[in-house]
Amino acid sequence: MYIVTGGAGFIGSNLARTLVERGCDDVVVVDDLTDGHKFVNIADLAIADYMDKDELLERLSLDAGFAKGIKAVLHQGACSETTEWDGRYMMQNNYGYSQKLLHHCLDYKTSFIYASSAAVYGGAKEFVEDPLFECPLNVYGYSKLQFDRYVRRLTVGSDSQVVGLRYFNVYGPHEQHKGSMASVAWHFNQQIREDGEAKLFTGSDGYGDGEQLRDFVYVGDVCSVNLWFLENPGVSGVFNTGSGRAQSFNDVANAVIGWHGKGRIRYIDFPDHLKGAYQSFTQADLTQLRQSGCDVEFRGVEDGVKHYLEQIDQAGR
């Protein structure tokens, strides 16, 4: 079976869906449905089973037959609230839980592909998978970086596949439950539909209004990267997963406005609470990803946003 943790969440549900659509009938979704709204992401999905995240750890420790039957763990589950400052909770949820899954996979030589984050780079100007450029701005980024460090240290010389994927700004279907943490593409679409205005921050860190730059990557492309590694079990490491192209928030807003054929941009004051804890520029260096052999092509904002909004439109009918 394939275990997808965080499988009712944004990236996890898209990944579980991709596996099912490719003919896998043994996909087990693991999540925490305390927020029951997420069920809609998997309600139409023919998965083999659903399991609570705490139940998974219990089954792994008590049921050897279950453990041996796992082909791969695609670990997407985490607290992704970059504004969450409860460090104890963040480390237990993102770091400690991931450690337990990693040790299981190493014991059984099970492929372990997990979600890291570009948040590990913080305010860096270069985004290369090297400790020289790793300096997170928040405890979420630290929790992801510390697990990457743990993986690097523990897997030296290991013949088990362990892959960390440092996601940049992912957007796409099934993120509506994320609220404030949903992508700007989702927020801009909602704003244009409701009052005809996409609200962008004024300039910061030397960037003009709405000209802060991020590496926006479509969730379908992220799923393709995960599956490429799943199909190439001899490749391990920590890799950037982004488009390799920085685009502005204005680009995203204009793509949404262009799809609707109406709307305008309004700039609002940059929030005080984000000053000093905000990435104004990200752009994945894809050198190591390409050297691994991964040849997944990433679409730009214009194409990705169009595909995303078409999916939303179809689901709304």
Mean pLDDT of the chain: 94
Statement: residue 316 has pLDDT above 90: no
Q: Give φ, ψ of 72 to 5 degrees.
A: -160, 150
Supply the pLDDT for residue 101.
97
**Contacts with 167 (C-beta within 8 Å, 6 or more apart), sequence order:** 11, 115, 116, 117, 118, 217, 222, 241, 242
Statement: residue 259 has pLDDT above 60: yes
Statement: residue 317 has pLDDT above 50: no
Same-domain check for residues 122 and 22:
yes
Q: Are 242 and 175 in contact (CB under 8 A)?
A: no
d(CA 283, CA 290): 15
Q: Provide the residue type at 197 as one letter.
A: E
pLDDT single digits (tens) 9-47: 999 999 999 999 999 999 999 999 998 999 999 999 999
CATH number, domain at 261?
Answer: 3.90.25.10
Higher pLDDT, 84 or 173: 173
Domains identified in the chain, total number: 2
Tokens standing for residue 198: 């996409």
pLDDT single digits (tens) 133-175: 999 989 999 999 999 999 999 998 889 999 999 999 999 999 9
**Contacts with 302 (C-beta within 8 Å, 6 or more apart), sequence order:** 251, 255, 258
Same-domain check for residues 195 and 122:
no
CATH number, domain at 18?
Answer: 3.40.50.720
Which residues, in sequence order, are bridge partners of residue 113?
74, 163
Q: Provide the residue type at 76 as one letter.
A: Q
Measured between alpha carbons, how far apart are the two ends of the chain, in Å?
Answer: 34
Statement: residue 5 has pLDDT above 80: yes
pLDDT single digits (tens) 207-251: 999 999 999 999 999 999 999 999 999 999 999 999 999 999 999
- Known catalytic residues are 140, 178
Domain that holds residue 102: 2-168+219-243+285-299
Same-domain check for residues 112 and 181:
no
pTM of the model: 0.94
Q: Are 142 and 121 in contact (CB under 8 A)?
A: no
Same-domain check for residues 125 and 146:
yes
Half-sphere exposure of 49 (CA within 13 A, CB side): 12
CA 80 and chain centroid, separation = 9
Supply the pLDDT for residue 179.
87
Supply the pLDDT for residue 276.
75
Same-domain check for residues 44 and 80:
yes
DSSP string, 36-103: GGGGGGTTT---SEEEEHHHHHHHHHH-HHHHHT-SEEEE------TT---HHHHIIIIIIHHHHHHH
Tell me whether strands 237-241 and 216-218 are parallel, antiparallel or unpaired. unpaired
Statement: residue 278 has pLDDT above 90: no
Q: Are 80 and 140 in contact (CB under 8 A)?
A: yes
Supply the pLDDT for residue 79.
81
Same-domain check for residues 57 and 191:
no
Instruction: Name residue, tokens 């490429």.
Output: 228
Supply the pLDDT for residue 86.
86
CA 254 and chain centroid, separation = 24
pLDDT single digits (tens) 40-81: 999 999 999 999 999 999 999 999 999 999 999 999 999 877
Instruction: Name residue, tokens 């796409």.
Output: 172
Same-domain check for residues 56 and 189:
no
